[in-house]
Amino acid sequence: MQANIHNSGSKYKKKLFFFFFLIVLIFSLLIGGFQYHQEKAYRREKLEYALNIYTEQVQKLINKKGLLKKNSFSEIDSLRLLIPDRNIRITVLTVKGDVIYDSYVEKLSELDNHLQRPEVQKSLHTTKGSNIRLSGSTGQTYYYYSKYYYSHFVRTALPFNDSVMMFLKANNIFLYFLIGLFGVTVIFLIYATEHFGNSISKLRKFAINVAKNRPIDPNEDFGKTELGEISHQIVKIYRKLSQTKEALVREKEKLIMHLQIAQEGVAVFDKDRNLILWNSHFIDYINYLGNISTHNYQEIFELPELKEINKFINANIKKLKSNYIPNVDIISDKKTVIIGHKLFLYQVVVFQDCNFEISINDITKSENEKIIKQEMTLNIAHELKTPVTAVSGFLETIKDNPTMPEDKKIQFIERSCLQINRLSNLIKDISVLTKMEEAQQLFSVENINIRKILDEMIEDFELKLELSKMKIDLQIPRNLNITGNSELIDSVFRNLIDNSIKYAGKEVKVEIKNYFEDSNYHYFSYSDNGIGISEKHLPRIFERFYRADNGRSRKMGGTGLGLSIVKNAVSFHNGRIFVKPGKEKGVEFFFSLKKQLS
Ligand code: ADP
């Protein structure tokens, strides 16, 4: 693997070198070519400059001496002798191209028309023209230069011999300089590719590893070059980025975890109603609501229960304004044969990116509790009204009948006392129940001895027990301690014993047993062998204000809250209670109390 990377590194370096080498080569060739061309043009210009001077001198001579009119050009021969370049050929042509003078040719009549000669044609258009060509007249190659003077042409020519060729040849010093420069550049290139190539190939390896999700070496040495420094920074930034990404993933996982343990069903959809994020409660609720067993959760938007939600999403997804996150709560109910009447609270939030969240809460329990509380308030009002009406009735009767016999008066007052006693019991029971439900923290927890509580209670009940000839068989160890609230434990046993006294009848036997214990709980049974409670009342006996025998309960000053307090007090001690008919007769309660309340 390492060798592979090394190989690919050197291969890459070679590639890099050849790439730049090619660029430098092309660049050098272009510059060299251009410069060579320029140089040649310059040389030619210089030669033509000299030929132009000769041409001008010939022209001056023609003008001055009126040679054209005379049609005699022998004086040009003398001029030619003055020109340093003895090989020069001078030709004079008429505008029609007929040669009227040529320094090299004696018999002009043998010469053909020169108008079509390239240099002559060129000069006809631009006043001067040049051409290198083999002369048809002399059989030699010349460098011709022709100038057009509107009445005639003057043409000068130099034999294209070695010295002219040498003169026209470009100066190669520049080319040597260029080749030298090219060599230096290549050496620099070798150094640079070697120098930066390592960094580049390592950076390339890093990029490939990142792209392929392979682990990266955080301590990779990219070298001390500027590129190495940049590479280090890139790796640093990449590591920071991946750390942030990992942190984000962790946060997302936490969020998903939170969603999974949340009691509500939550799901996030994109604007095309594709499910992005959800928890199992959401799927459960949706399955329950729509009997959807398909995986296409877009179908849920067709459910009649979600009609309102759908409307809300459609309306808001289009008109999203910045800093405004539309949300709505919709309560809907679903009746099913199996589960019954269930209430759901849907909450919808539409986010800025048009994604939206739907959360579904099963609020059946809390709504039921609300109803129970309302019923309880009504019951309390009703229960309070009865004794208050009775007392005010008795007192008003006494007030309105001053002649009422004394014994009757006492009877009325006694009845009033009984009602007031009932009223006070009612208020006491309601206050205990409310405290247990709303402010459990007000009940202190301490180490309590159950046997001691029971012994003291039986002493309190002594007179009543004697009157009803009731016996209590206590099978509770003396050292039975739990941590709990003594007031509540007292109310458990006091209500049970009080009920047996009130309802079970005469000569009843009560058994209170600690029949079992495990590491966490003590298990108790309470039974009497009295008249018992008919089975139809048993399931509801722990409900508030539920009385099996309404008349007897009221007569005995019962509030209908006793067993409800018992149940709540047991629950406070993390225990459970249930009731069943006694083995032969009477009634039997079983309950557990946690040994150690944390
Ligand atoms: P109350 O304040 O009326 O006593 P409870 O909640 O304590 O209310 O009892 C509910 C009803 O259960 C009583 O009205 C009574 O009819 C019946 N009951 C409770 N305990 C006994 C028992 N030991 N024997 C017979 N009936 C009982």
> Which of 194-203, 490-499, 525-534 has the least mean pLDDT?
194-203
Pairs from 577-585 (Cβ < 8 Å, separation ≥ 24): 577/542, 579/533, 579/538, 579/541, 579/542, 580/538, 581/532, 581/533, 581/535, 581/538, 582/527, 582/528, 582/529, 582/532, 583/527, 584/529, 585/529, 585/530, 585/531, 585/532
CA of 547 to the centre of ligand 1 (A): 6
Mutate to test the pocket of ligand 1, among 380, 426, 499, 587 (most ligand atoms within 8 A of CB): 499
CA of 550 to the centre of ligand 1 (A): 9
> Which of 292-301, 450-459, 488-497 has the least mean pLDDT?
292-301
Segment 145-153 shows an average pLDDT of: 94
Residue 357 Cβ contacting ligand 1 at under 6 Å: no
Helical (H) or strand (E) element with 63: helix 2-65
Cα separation of 102 and 401, whole Å?
A: 175
Residue 533 Cβ contacting ligand 1 at under 6 Å: yes
Residue 547 Cβ contacting ligand 1 at under 6 Å: yes
Segment 286-303 shows an average pLDDT of: 72
Segment 569-594 shows an average pLDDT of: 94
Q: What pLDDT, in 10s, does the model give residues 228-282?
A: 888 888 888 888 998 999 999 999 888 888 888 888 888 888 888 888 888 888 8
Q: Is the pLDDT of residue 339 over 60?
A: no
pLDDT at residue number 174: 79
Task: List the residue whose alpha carbon is closest to atom 23 of ligand 1.
Answer: 500
Return mean pLDDT, the chain.
86
pLDDT at residue number 178: 84
Most confident of 51-65, 81-95, 472-486: 472-486
Looking at residue 596, the DSSP 8-state letter turns out to be B
Residues 495/487, Cβ–Cβ less than 8 Å = no
Residue 548 Cβ contacting ligand 1 at under 6 Å: yes
Q: Is the pLDDT of residue 336 over 70?
A: no
- 45 vs 294, more confident: 45
The tokens of 183 are what? 């060599």
pLDDT at residue number 170: 66
Q: Quick one: what percent of the chain has pLDDT higher than 70?
A: 93
Q: Quick one: what percent of the chain has pLDDT higher than 90?
A: 41
pLDDT at residue number 338: 42
Task: List the residue whose alpha carbon is closest to atom 14 of ligand 1.
Answer: 547
Distances (CA, A) of 97 to 240, 307, 578: 87, 104, 141
Mutate to test the pocket of ligand 1, among 512, 563, 564, 588 (most ligand atoms within 8 A of CB): 563
Cα separation of 306 and 334, whole Å?
A: 12
Please report the atom of ligand 1 found closest to the CA of residue 554: 3
Q: Is the pLDDT of residue 426 over 50?
A: yes
| Residue carrying structure tokens 């800025």 | 352
Q: Is the pLDDT of residue 337 over 60?
A: no
Residue 426 Cβ contacting ligand 1 at under 6 Å: no
Q: pLDDT-based confidence at 400, cuts 50/70/90?
A: very high
Segment 447-452 shows an average pLDDT of: 97
Q: pLDDT-based confidence at 592, cuts 50/70/90?
A: very high
Phi, psi of 265 (to 5 degrees): -90, 120
| Amino acid (one-letter) located at 105 | V
Please report the atom of ligand 1 found closest to the CA of residue 550: 14
Residue 500 Cβ contacting ligand 1 at under 6 Å: yes
CA of 14 to the centre of ligand 1 (A): 101
Task: List the residue whose alpha carbon is closest to atom 7 of ligand 1.
Answer: 562
Q: Percentages helix, strand, coil for the chain, rounded to the nearest 5?
A: 55, 20, 25
Distances (CA, A) of 59 to 53, 150, 155, 241: 10, 12, 10, 85
Residue 505 Cβ contacting ligand 1 at under 6 Å: no
CB-based contacts of 260: which residues, under 8 Å, 6+ apart?
Answer: 279, 280
- 512 vs 178, more confident: 512
Task: List the residue whose alpha carbon is closest to atom 19 of ligand 1.
Answer: 499
Distances (CA, A) of 330 to 68, 271, 340: 118, 20, 20
Residue 553 Cβ contacting ligand 1 at under 6 Å: yes
Segment 496-504 shows an average pLDDT of: 95
Mutate to test the pocket of ligand 1, among 433, 506, 547 (most ligand atoms within 8 A of CB): 547
CA of 538 to the centre of ligand 1 (A): 10
Task: List the residue whose alpha carbon is closest to atom 15 of ligand 1.
Answer: 548
pLDDT at residue number 73: 85
Most confident of 126-130, 362-366, 405-409, 491-495: 491-495
> Which of 93-102, 144-153, 355-364, 423-432 has the least mean pLDDT?
355-364
pTM of the model: 0.52
- Three-class HEC string of 379-407: HHHHHHHHHHHHHHHHHHHHHHCCCCCHH
CA of 558 to the centre of ligand 1 (A): 8
Looking at residue 109, the DSSP 8-state letter turns out to be G
Segment 563-587 shows an average pLDDT of: 94
Mutate to test the pocket of ligand 1, among 468, 537, 553, 588 (most ligand atoms within 8 A of CB): 553
Cα separation of 219 and 9, whole Å?
A: 18
Q: What pLDDT, in 10s, does the model give residues 86-131?
A: 788 999 999 999 999 998 888 888 888 999 999 999 999 999 999 9
C-alpha torsion 304→309→310→314, nearest 10: 160
Task: List the residue whose alpha carbon is closest to atom 10 of ligand 1.
Answer: 547
Segment 217-221 shows an average pLDDT of: 77
Residue 429 Cβ contacting ligand 1 at under 6 Å: no
Residue 530 Cβ contacting ligand 1 at under 6 Å: yes
- 2 vs 244, more confident: 244
Q: pLDDT-based confidence at 449, cuts 50/70/90?
A: very high
The tokens of 305 are what? 């229960």
Task: List the residue whose alpha carbon is closest to atom 20 of ligand 1.
Answer: 499
pLDDT at residue number 274: 86
Residues 490/572, Cβ–Cβ less than 8 Å = no
Please report the atom of ligand 1 found closest to the CA of residue 499: 20
pLDDT at residue number 501: 95
Residue 587 Cβ contacting ligand 1 at under 6 Å: yes
Q: Is the pLDDT of residue 1 over 70?
A: no
Phi, psi of 240 (to 5 degrees): -60, -45
Q: pLDDT-based confidence at 224, cuts 50/70/90?
A: confident
